[in-house]
A and B are shown apart, each in its own frame.
Chain A
């Protein structure tokens, strides 16, 4: 098999192998970020599967720091009925509690790299939330992305965000839709002047893939693809 005849996809086994290679490389180069963790998870726990099924996880990455004006908008609903407070003698001022002035509301993001057996490519799932755990809707997440990303999202036919059920966690997460991945990955490798061998391509698959999709979130990987 050579790159020319390759369709840009990856087998499940190659994904697992590539995932470990990717997380190791990440750890050695990206001292600013926590490591990717492989989460063992099975879609079919009743099958005695000898294979390790799972996904890569990188969580609680802080992606933004909105300014003070946003804080009022990030408010809860039903504040009318919340006026119950705490009756009784606890209202005595406790001198030992530090009273903090306005908080900067921070947004965090969790990333999961999951293998899609339909498209045979890795898929980036993500979700974003405030420091108290409140999930953020897509329009707020898009505000936190680097400026070039929102342009990319609206015009590129290869990058768009959809909301779907996380295949393992069974809750709605966002993901970068994978239908174009095989196409552009193949182009990426074909245009690589180093003309890597196919085995090398498989090893570098996740690195190359992430170096493109990670940029959507401002997660730059500081290594070249051909190396």
Chain B
């Protein structure tokens, strides 16, 4: 497209900026480690190259290398310029402020003028002829918010403004202006210019064409010397712009140089553009500009007006980029953790439900050997909401076995475990939502005085609220009695409860069955009518033939004469083989994940490990047992099933309805009277009859040796 005859104002295409992420990373690094609050201007380099695509303009690019290197010298030396044919280096200056206010308060006019003056100086002193890249000098102002990782910035490409502006006499593709021979020769000359390492990064030059149509590309400083046999002379420059009707921005200062240094009024120019690394004379433009006399330009002191602040989508405002995703360490930790879990899902377990894990709220009663390990395992599975309850302080022997504590936590009497554990979790994974509750769990058979009654009942209420507000409760305390109240409360509200208990060299991990109150949704239709009378009159649904799985205390009752072997478990058993706690904790969490992925959840039936099942599981995570009992001396593990007992002191319907009817009063009674619960559930009665039976047995012992049967 040719423009002829009409003398319109020569309009230049603004240069556009492109800042590589690496630049911001490097600036942040320098700011944090080198500059600190020093906000003196920094010398930087920008890079651009001739346009290489007919539809896309090139930009002025900033990279990590644009900023000074790591060297420790204090001088404001410009960074090592590593330019090549695709990255012509141009000098720039960066004003990076410490606050948003100072960013906004920068004297933008003044700064632009200061840079324009440098260009003007270079033109007058002749430096611009020697080192012409300085004609494209640029300015960058920025404010780096290193907390939110927002980078506010604004480029200016100072251009000396002609007044009156230059006019365009002619502009057309170079291939239409040169003859065929000339075009060939010019291409060759330019390609030579571009391929020579000495000139590849020199963005302004001139092309002379002799009478024999041979062309040569030469340094600007050779202009005056080269006068012989020059038929045509074009001022060439690397043009990043692709448009066919407008030359690129670098031409502005080039024209200023040409007109003031060599006093030319008519300037023939070549906008050099490429395609695939070679001169493209269809894309390149040849034009003729008319520069009128600029009053005052002869005077060195008189600096012309400058324009050049970059537009941001048509408006003269700064830009902002947020890099939190790639720079904020917490975000990076989160995405790495998510990645890990997603990999598990993609590669091995497509039905893994990560959403359920992310939104799960877990309450851990006990922050000791079991609590610490369970918390870590939960985080590894992607659980983020963890509450730890413990009234103890970290003791000197704890850090060895309780994996969230270190020696620091033991000093000065010891930190509260609950709070120390939370801090530790946050250090491991900042995005965890952890809370610590310092509280003792009220226990039956541990009577309280009148004065303590009120606070104990408050604790009961608080525990009740905590259980209500969480989805899963882990019973990880070190006494049997402390598990009673949580078991009752979970049975009352059908919260998933998982118990882990340690003996010296054996462990038990189990999931409590659902409570007697709200029956299995599948049976809801049948029981709804019987519920008509009201919640208080609920009947244990055992009569329907549906057996609930038992809780921790059900065991005691189901096999009364066997309870001796069970009682060794966690009867104040503070000494255990160290390997047990990690094993039991890990199993407890894996058991939970199994429950969460079972369609019936807490109502899931129990399965036992069967050597015949091989690798074929109905559910992807494998079987869902009720109880796992392990023994270290045998390196063995068994899965067992125990159903609920009508006389369970913690979860039978009698106890639960008493609690529902009398609330705190019932709890107080249970706490204060050691035999109350056993009386209530009829366990006392059961024991009495068992003992009676035993007495009979003793009488006949001599007579029936060979008929002895163990109960």
Contacts and interface: CB of A to CB of B under 8 A. Distances in A.
Interface of A: 31, 34, 62, 76-79, 81-91, 94-100, 102-103, 106, 127, 129, 131-135, 137, 157, 160, 162-164, 169, 171-172, 177, 179
A88 B56 CA distance: 33
A53 B317 CA distance: 44
B56 A87 contact: no
B469 to A, nearest CB: 34
A81 B150 CA distance: 13
Nearest to A127: B21
A116 B332 CA distance: 21
A76 B320 contact: yes
A189 to B, nearest CB: 23
B601 interface: no
A106 B309 contact: no
Contact of A82 (B16, B307, B320): B320
B59 A131 contact: yes
Given A95-B9, A96-B12, A163 B339 contact: yes
Given A90-B109, A90-B307, A96 B161 contact: yes
A96 B335 contact: no
Given A82-B317, A82-B318, A106-B56, A96 B20 contact: no
Nearest to B248: A98
A171 B25 contact: yes
B346 A157 contact: yes
A106 B19 CA distance: 14
A171 B320 contact: no
A129 B21 contact: yes
B45 interface: no
B555 interface: no
Contacts of A85: 315-317
Contacts of A177: 343
A82 B161 CA distance: 26
A103 B59 CA distance: 14
B385 to A, nearest CB: 24
A90 B12 contact: no
11 contacts: A76-B312, A78-B320, A82-B317, A83-B317, A86-B316, A89-B305, A97-B307, A132-B17, A133-B18, A177-B343, A179-B347
Contacts of A97: 11-12, 14, 307
Contacts of B346: 157, 160
Nearest to B13: A98
A45 B116 CA distance: 41
B21 A87 contact: no
B316 A135 contact: no
B13 A100 contact: yes
Interface in B68-121: 100, 104, 108-109, 112
B290 to A, nearest CB: 13
A172 B332 contact: yes
B228 interface: no
A133 B318 contact: no
Contacts of B479: none
A172 B326 contact: yes
Given A94-B161, A94-B307, A133 B20 contact: yes
Contacts of A160: 346
Contacts of A172: 325-326, 332, 335
Interface in B336-360: 336, 339, 342-343, 346-347
Nearest to B322: A77
Contacts of B159: 96
Contacts of A100: 13-14
A95 B162 CA distance: 10
Nearest to A81: B100
Contacts of B343: 162, 177
Interface in B199-231: none
Closest CB pairs A-B (n = 3): A133-B19, A88-B109, A98-B11
A78 B274 CA distance: 38
Contacts of B252: 96
Contacts of B150: 77-78
Contacts of B152: 78, 82
A96 B62 CA distance: 26
Given A96-B12, A106-B56, A132-B17, 4 more contacts: A76-B319, A86-B108, A132-B321, A135-B326
B323 interface: yes
Contacts of B313: 103
A84 B318 contact: yes
A95 B19 contact: no
A81 B320 CA distance: 10
B19 A98 contact: no
Contact of A87 (B12, B20, B108): B108
Contacts of B41: none
Interface in B441-471: none
B22 interface: yes
B140 to A, nearest CB: 12
B169 to A, nearest CB: 15
A81 to B, nearest CB: 7
Interface string B33-63: 0000000000000000000010010010110
Interface in B300-334: 305, 307, 309, 312-323, 325-326, 332
Contacts of B347: 157, 179
B299 to A, nearest CB: 20
A97 B312 CA distance: 14
Interface string B569-596: 0000000000000000000000000000
A164 B320 CA distance: 25
B439 to A, nearest CB: 41
Contacts of A62: 53, 56
A149 to B, nearest CB: 16
Given A90-B307, A172-B326, A132 B319 contact: yes
Contacts of A133: 17-21, 23, 61-62, 321
B382 to A, nearest CB: 16
A168 to B, nearest CB: 12
A172 to B, nearest CB: 5
B520 interface: no
B326 A171 contact: yes
Contacts of B307: 90, 94, 96-97
A96 B165 contact: yes
Contacts of A87: 108-109
Contacts of B549: none
A32 to B, nearest CB: 8
Given A132-B16, A133-B19, A171-B25, A95 B335 contact: no
Contacts of B305: 89
B335 A163 contact: yes
B628 interface: no
A81 B19 CA distance: 21
Contacts of A163: 335, 339
B321 A134 contact: yes
Contact of B9 (A90, A96, A131, A179): A96
A42 to B, nearest CB: 16
A62 B52 CA distance: 12
A96 B320 contact: no
B10 interface: yes
A134 B16 CA distance: 13
Contact of B276 (A31, A81, A169, A179): A31
Contacts of A102: 314
Interface string B359-375: 00000000000000000
B166 interface: yes
B266 interface: no
B176 interface: no
B684 interface: no
Contacts of A134: 321
A30 B109 CA distance: 48
